Structure 1
Amino acid sequence: MPSPRTPRTVVVTGASGGIGRATAVEFARRGDRVALLARGEVGLAAAADEVRAAGGTALVVPVDVADADAVEAAADRVEAELGEIDVWVNVAFTAAFAPFHELTAAEYARVTEVSYLGFVHGTMAALRRMRPRDRGVIVQTGSALGRRGIPLQSAYCGAKHAIKGFTESVLTELKAEGSGVHITRVDLPGVNTPQFSWVLNKMPKRPQPVAPIYAPELMGRAMVHAADHPRRRAWWIGTPTVYTVLGAEVWPQFMDWYLSRNGIDGQLTDVDASADDPVNLHEPADGDGGRDFGAEGRFSDQQWTWDAQIWASRYHGAVAAVAGAGLLAGASALLRRRP
């Protein structure tokens, strides 16, 4: 793989807003050539300006990741204009806030086509180019909700669970053939993104992320770090992600009980929903004539910009070394005090 300091060609899907946009800007800070894939042209244009301002080269490629042929054509264009793809980051998704019984089959299919099959299409396009070259990195945006389902988000949770399963399958296939291509997954917590302004919402109140809420810029840095260290198969980002994964594995019955009592109200604000709220399920909320939603959503006054768990995850080797040294020092002190 190229050195992390060598400018690379990077593809980011869902780059018009939220985590995708923050990730694209973070790659740009390193001088990378960044292809911005998404549907909303207003958001894409603004994201491209931010990429250039951060020091990167931007290529705007409007595309719906649910369309496999369109994703393949986008990859061709990226390589023709920016060079061979070094890193492909799948971020694009959509969702629906509603009890399962209130969703239609068409709505469920659309969430699945974008939030799951969009990752499949992106991974296929990346591997068609990376495998023959025997190099490259694919980063999948996972979620704590890909390890534990919660109420009101059955379609999204199902997509994230599916991403985990298919990514693990692809990872083992790459290992079996001794490939130099790497694939890694980054499981994220609740993030302050614009999705809570444009998600399909059938609840009486406007939705919000599960607290604590994290800044998308912090997630962008985590995504870039994962791309630099792709031999690690998965990353748990944020303290609540760790609690969620461990709780689901150790005591799922307690999680059922807790989420049945707190999972619905915890995802809703006190603000009434409106029929005029934008919805990006079938059309981009920042399409022709729309507005740029940016990377951050409505909860910037609540968001976390640092977490000790994220720091420890990034520097786990140093943490282990310090902990080991502390244990040895403690053991030595006890031995010296023995009569």
Structure 2
Amino acid sequence: MAIALKPLDQQVIVVTGATSGNGLAIVERAVKTGAAVVAVARNEAALAALRTRLAAEGARIAVCVADVADPVAVERIAGVATSAFGGFDSWINNAGTGTYGTLEQVPVADHRRVFDVNYFGVLHGSLVAARHLRRRGGGAIVNIGSILGDRAILQQGPYSATKHAVQALTDTLRMEVEGDGISVTLVKPGPIDTPFPEHARNYMGQPPRLPQPLYTPAVVADAVLFVCAHPRRTLYAGGGGLLSAILARAAPRVTDFIMEAAGTRAQQQPGDAGDPARHDNLHRPRADGLRGSRPVHARRSSIALQVQKRRGAVLVAGLIGIALTAARRNAGRR
């Protein structure tokens, strides 16, 4: 079946992790386009405030309090969408959590919690969305991955592992459902100025931060809403992340050495821990927000993203990736 997606102003869009960072940016941008939104998060107070604010501006919005690690709660999301709007057309698996620290420092229970949210949450959402969209005759599933699905980084081992797993899950899902008219896209943000470093459970000796170059959550929202209406396989949100992924593929050992030399320092912010009300939302919600609470420079747009939106550019990027992989293999044989 050919994939034909509706214009955004005719869609109902489910967004998980909707009260913070990228999810909040997606919700705000979606309602501005005229889409109806089902906003999902654990933070009940933040969801209620979001609904009140956007509804007062004329938005069509429903909310659902749910932890995506709970498959029963995820099933409830579809029920809310059906009751409020008769169903949904796009489902965005955005909710995520993380830790900072070495693999030895992070307890196994925390590793499991990161997987429960970042991997199994995406699995639960994808299965519910696929069943609904198959009956509806098609639609879009958008999974939020990361450049850390291409290239692991020090101090974020569990998070990197989940994003590698989400890559495989997304590729498998696409093959299983695209014959039903369902588009499946993986959006890979680079470093984005969200509350993630404050929300993550931290085992390092210093407060965490994200390395430059940073982009605002609006860049991720741009990518996500584009693929809700235009089928794509993968989009990188931010040129810095795209370059990092290319370097990791072309020269993995060089990238290892760079990470070993500077990776930890680039992720630490001595003396500035940000807003204490946001710290550690691994197991329970904390204060949310669109961006991090510390002053940083973040780019508001991405030329690389705009280039990727063009189908010809996607083909060229794929050919470059194939060439880089071949070059690396040839170098290894020597």
TM-score range, shorter chain: 0.7 to 0.9
Could you tell me how far 1:46 is from its partner in structure 2?
3.0
> Cα distance 1:61–1:204, how it changes in 2: closer, same or farther (>3 A)?
same
Q: Secondary structure at the match of 1:125?
A: helix
Distance in 1 separating the partners of 2:8 and 2:88 = 16
- Name the residue aligned to 1:326: none
Q: Which structure 2 residues correspond to residues 297-316 of structure 1 after superposition, within 5 A?
A: 297-299=292-294, 301-315=296-310
The AA in structure 2 aligned to 1:297 is G
Paired residue secondary structure (1:34): strand
Q: Deviations over 1:279-316 (max 9, x none)?
A: 10111013xxxxxx321112454111122212222245
Out of 3, 19, 23, which is 1:20 matched to? 23
The CA deviation at 1:221 is 1.5
Matching residue of 1:181: 182
Residues 93-104 of structure 1: pairs in structure 2 closer than 5 A: 93-104=96-107
1:223 is matched with which residue?
A: 224
Does the CA-based 8 Å contact 2:153-2:259 persist in structure 1? yes
> How far is the alpha carbon of 1:238 from its aligned partner?
1.3
CA contact (8 A) 1:206 1:271 kept: yes
Asked if the contact 2:91/2:142 (under 8 Å) is kept, the reply is yes
| TM-aligned CA distance change 1:300 to 1:75, over 3 Å | farther
Whole-Å separation in 1 of the counterparts to 2:11 and 2:148: 31
Q: Tell me, in whole angstroms, the C-alpha distance in 2 between the residues paired with 1:279 and 1:119.
A: 21
CA contact (8 A) 1:4 1:228 kept: yes
1:260 alignment partner in structure 2: 260
Aligned to 1:109: 112
Matched length? 312
Query: What stretches of structure 1 of length at least 5 have no aligned partner?
Result: 287-292, 322-339
Give the Å deviation of 1:174. Answer: 2.1
Structure 1 pair 119/5, CA: closer, same or farther in 2 (3 Å)?
closer
Deviation at 1:320, TM superposition (A): 9.5
Q: Structure 1 residue aligned with 2:289, among 286, 294, 302?
A: 294
Contact 1:204 1:273 in 2 (8 A): no
Cα 1:274–1:138 change in 2 (3 A) is: closer
Judged with a 3 Å threshold, the aligned counterparts in structure 2 of structure 1 residues 27 and 156 are, in CA distance, closer, same or farther, namely: same
Residues in 2 aligned to 1:275 and 1:85: alpha-carbon distance in whole angstroms? 35
Aligned to 2:282: 281
Aligned residues of 2:197 and 2:208 also touching (Cα < 8 A) = yes
Q: Take 1:318 and 1:162, find their aligned partners in 2: how far apart are those partners?
A: 26
Residue number in structure 2 paired with 1:328: none
Report the more deviating stretch, 185-194 or 127-136.
Answer: 127-136
**Aligned with 1:203: secondary structure?**
coil
Structure 2 counterparts to residues 1-339 of structure 1, below 5 A:
1=4, 3-52=6-55, 55-175=58-178, 178-230=179-231, 232-271=232-271, 273=273, 278-286=279-287, 293-299=288-294, 301-315=296-310, 317=312
Aligned counterparts of 2:237 and 2:100: Cα–Cα separation in 1: 23
The letter for the 1-side match of 2:245 is V
Mapped contact 1:16–1:294 kept (Cα < 8 A): yes
Taking structure 1 as the reference length, the TM-score comes to 0.86
- Residues 29 and 55 of structure 1, relative CA distance in 2, 3 Å threshold: farther
Which secondary structure does the structure 1 equivalent of 2:10 belong to?
A: coil
The SS at the match of 1:218 is helix
The secondary structure found in structure 2 opposite 1:269 is coil
Q: Could you list the per-position Cα deviations for residues 128-163 of structure 1 after superposition, in whole angstroms to 9, with x for gaps in the alignment? A: 111123211000111101110000101110111000
After superposition, the Cα gap between the structure-2 partners of 1:315 and 1:47, relative to the gap in structure 1 and judged at 3 Å, is farther
Question: Separation in 2 of the partners of 1:318 and 1:267?
Answer: 32
**CA drift at 1:52:** 3.0
Give CA deviations for 1:25-68 in whole Å, capped at 9, x if unaligned: 11101111101111012222233245335642111110000000
Structure 2 vs 1, CA of residues 246 and 274 (structure 1 numbering), >3 Å: closer, same or farther?
closer
Deviations 1:83-113 (A, max 9, x none): 2210000100110011110011111100110
Residue 331 of structure 1 corresponds to which residue in structure 2? none
Question: 2:247 is matched by which residue type in structure 1?
Answer: G
Displacement after TM superposition at 1:5 (Å): 4.6
Task: Give, in angstroms, the shift of residue 256 of structure 1.
Answer: 0.6
